[in-house]
Amino acid sequence: MKLSINKRTSKSVNLEAWKSPSDPSVGNFYSSIFERPPNIIEVFIWNGSRPYWRSGPWNGEVFTGIQSMIDSYFFGFRGGDDGEGNIYIYYAVQNDDEFFIYNLNSKGELEETGWDDEKKEVQVLWTSRESKCDVYDLCGAFASCNSLSSPTCSCLRGFEPRNIEQWNIHNWTGGCVRRTPLQCERVNNKTTSTKEDGFLKLQMIKVPDFAEGLTVTSDICRSLCLENCSCLAYSHDDGIGCMSWTGNLRDIQQFQRGGLDLYVRVANGELDRGRNKTIIIIGTTIIGTLMIVICAYIFWRRTSNHPDIIQSSSRKKSNKASNKGGSPEDYASDNVIGEMSQIKLQELLKFDFEKLATATNNFHFSNKLGQGGFGPVYKGKLQDGREIAVKRLSRASGQGLQEFMNEVVVICKLQHRNLVRLVGCCIEGDEKMLMYEYMLNRSLDAFIFDPSKNKLLDWRTRYNIIEGIARGLLYLHRDSRLRIIHRDLKASNVLLDEELNPKISEFGMARIFGGGEDQANTSRIVGTYGYMSPEYAMQGLFSEKSDVFSFGVLILEIVTGRRNSSFYENEHALSLLGYVWIQWREDNILSLIDQGIYDPSHHNYISRCIHIGLLCAQELAKDRPAMAAVISMLNSETASLPPPSKPAFILRESMLNSKFPEECQNGCSINNVSITDVCGR
């Protein structure tokens, strides 16, 4: 591979990508050299006329913006000026035993491939897209991207988001703005200030794009930048020299190793704020530790001799039901409530009813977030400023009481980043309430099915949501202390936190499996129309594969932006599953994808997710993959997928024949539906 550009004629040798893996015509992506005199050379990948990726400055041995390229020995690149006006970068073969190929693929990724003699195959050894931070200018101006932090983007110290609302929903393109004006700016505005600006040092950084270069020492570089009011940052490297920036600082990335030191100009007050912050943190840590120790001791003294036990008022009622005979589901309810009576209240934080009434403004309608089979859900704000979601058991709901008991037993034993967290509970007389962490962005359905919001979830975000839900289900099925079948997985039961991470909620209908169980049978069908697997809806059989079916439907809804019920225009209309199946067989993938998220560079990823969704929604439970296999499929771009068979319920009439009540055909949860088998005499 060799890239070059002639400084006099501007003629260049570039690397161009194919339009697609099967179409060798010239695509949108190409790679070229960008040079800033006297000594700054970078390699860019362009998507048309827009930058898509860059290597960072070349220091004579390595590209400083590629984290894994610490030692030139491992890559063998050469570059510089040949003395005839040509700036070049090329790869030199290190020895005869190793041979590498550099290729720009149709997705705009530069790949290094090599032959693996043990596996007897060509393998990708390195790619320019090592993380999402490698996409050019992901975080906007004056912000840094760190793929290992959450959120991914953060403003540089001394800066704040330009638009805090957009920033909080992970739309970072607006970038950040300076919090305190520079001394130079105040002088120009005739505002008196005696304190000179200073520099904040950022270490292990991929420095911003389009620097201006000078061949001077580090000290002179600093002085020149400080004396120039237009200079916003500088960096120095022995192999490159002095680099300075007078425009917006873009495409900054925080590395864990390698990179360069970047010195960002800030007002003197920001330097003082950093010093004061360190003192405050140390003092607060010491005081906080002492307070925690004291409070823990007081709490232990008060509770050690008075363990409160949650007593179930419905235990007698459940025992009567079991004595009269019932399904395994009915006996399971007894077990749930029996286990409930063994949970000590100190395992959960107890709330007084009065405090919750105050937090929700006496359960005012304006704070109501929604309504479920359990009862209403309210937004509340505690005295310490924490926001919570309060689920209040409806007094008229006998089913809700059982769900309440079930939900506490299930969720208090679970802890996973993709499951909603239980904060506490309240049991006073007839009042029974559960408190959860409040999710700023509400539920997934509010985004993907709302035309005014669905564009806020780009493809990368939707993929992260799909993967997060999959990991949450795998935890329920295999990795938690209990084996749990959710039985009501749907878009409205997936909540999104402020960083748009998915969290599975609503465990009132969940079922705990014993160690040897892998499926169960019930005559009381619970769940939601359109998400139930056929064996569960028509025979009462449920297992892990029932949740897998629901997950498959959910994948297709996330990709298409359409509800599974949105195709029910007449008696014989196709369901979403039927529509996707027909378009898939006709290889008409584009008609399925939500146009608000479509990008040709993501086509293969989106197509793969549709394929996985169809595999999960296959009619026979034995054909559906387990969640562990689903996650493996999602994380592997190269592993081949088996062809899916026809999904269940491709027509609306086939779903209606499963005997759902008409009032539940719009997406509500079904809490109590009986199925009667008719047998001839």
Given a contact cutoff of 8 angstroms between Cβ atoms, the answer to whether 60 and 239 are in contact is yes
Contact 369, 378 (CB under 8 A): yes
Helix, strand, or coil here: 672?
A: strand
CA distance 314 to 379: 28
Q: What are phi and psi of 75, to 5 degrees?
A: -115, -40
CA proximity to 405, closest of 525, 312, 484: 312
Q: From the candidates 251, 334, 488, 594, which is the catalytic residue?
A: 488
Parallel, antiparallel or unpaired: strands 212-214 and 241-245? antiparallel
488 catalytic? Reply is yes
Answer whether 672's CB lies under 8 Å from 397's CB: no
Beta strands in 470-613 (DSSP E): 483-485, 494-496, 502-504, 511-513, 519-521, 524-528, 541-543
Residue 271: strand, helix, or coil: helix
Which amino acid, residue 504? I
> What are the backbone angles phi and psi of residue 410, rounded to the nearest 5°?
-70, -55
- Which tokens sit at 73? 């020995």
Q: Which two tokens stand for residue 319?
A: 């025992």
Evaluate the omega torsion of the peptide bond into residue 376 and state whether it is cis, within 30 degrees of 0.
no
DSSP string for residues in 30-82: EEEEEEETTTEEEEEEEETTEEEEE---B-SSSBTT-TT---GGGT-EEEEE-
Q: Helix and strand tally (H, E) in the chain?
A: 16, 35
* Separation between Cα atoms, residue 418 and residue 626, nearest integer Å: 18
Tokens of 81: 């000026």
| Residues paired with residue 2 on neighbouring β-strands, in sequence order | 90
- DSSP state, 622? G
Task: Give phi and psi for 143, each to the nearest 5.
Answer: -135, 155
Among 209, 145, 132, residue whose Cα is nearest residue 176: 145
Q: Percentages helix, strand, coil for the chain, rounded to the nearest 5?
A: 30, 25, 40
| Tokens read off for 92 | 């030199």
Cα–Cα distance measured from residue 193 to residue 201, given in angstroms and rounded to the nearest whole number: 23
Q: Check: CB of residue 32 under 8 Å from CB of residue 12.
A: yes
Q: Which residues are catalytic?
A: 488
